Amino acid sequence: MRGTDRIGVLLFFTAAIRLSYADTDARAVQAEFDRCVAQMERADRALRRLESNVDRLKRSIPAVVAKNREEFGREVGALENRLDYFRNRFDRSGGQAEKIRGDLKNISGPTCPSCVESGVNMYCRSAEMLLDEIQRSQDKADELGGRAGAAVPVVSDTDLPGSHALRRAAFDSLDAGSKTAIDGCSDKAADALRRQARASAARADSLFRIGENQPASQALGIAETLLKKAVGRCAGK
């Protein structure tokens, strides 16, 4: 093989290797972006729940003891201001995501993976920080709800037609209805099952609070099953 031919072959394989690395980098950047888009969607759901809870807090202000009402109102107002801040950040992230999607489409053309990577990293940091800050505000909303003496649970997503809230209410109703039967039951296992059911229901609430809707649904299903077993044991079933 002539020298020029060898150089040509070498250049061909070098180009092929570079294209292979570029393709691998592109897939890695796309995967990271997809992960962070999912995280931003969680932040969106958390924000909508926080909005609902702040609205509940505003309606509970008149019920607060007079001497604490002014301070309580200020704290609720501060949370409301945070909502505006979160909405603005979320809106900006939407524009950022659209730009990244456009860049990813051109990644095999004029745009290189490393050129997009910094934008993806910035988007991911925004998603993580936004989700964390919304959760801290939700914790504050929960605290204010407790101080108001008002039940301010995490509200179910508007796109999940209240499934968690409805199932949780049904569980509480069944639990209350089973109290007399289980308390007067000689079967010790029934009471243990009821305690496990309540613990599983509490776990469902915690999971739902952070947007883990599917695991929350599963935990609530376990709670329902355990409580029905407890009732069944005392009914001799």
The CA distance from 81 to 129, in Å, is 17
pTM more than 0.75: no
Asked whether the predicted pLDDT for residue 154 surpasses 50, the reply is no
Q: Where do runs of H (alpha helix) occur along the chain?
A: 3-60, 66-105, 113-148, 163-183, 188-209, 213-234
Asked whether the predicted pLDDT for residue 152 surpasses 70, the reply is no
pLDDT for position 210? 79
pLDDT for position 22? 47
Length of the chain, in residues: 237
CB neighbour burial string for 207-226, b if at least 16 within 10 angstroms, e if fewer: bbbbbebeebbebbebbbeb
Range name among 8-22, 177-191, 205-219 with the lowest pLDDT average: 8-22
Residues 6 or more apart whose CB falls under 8 angstroms from that of 80 comprise 54, 58
Percentage of residues of the chain with pLDDT beyond 70: 76
Asked whether the predicted pLDDT for residue 178 surpasses 60, the reply is yes
Per-residue pLDDT tens digits for 20-44: 444 547 788 888 888 888 888 888 8
Q: Which of 146, 129, 161, 167 is nearest to 53 (CA)?
A: 146
* Direct distance between the N- and C-terminal alpha carbons of the chain, in angstroms, rounded to an integer: 87
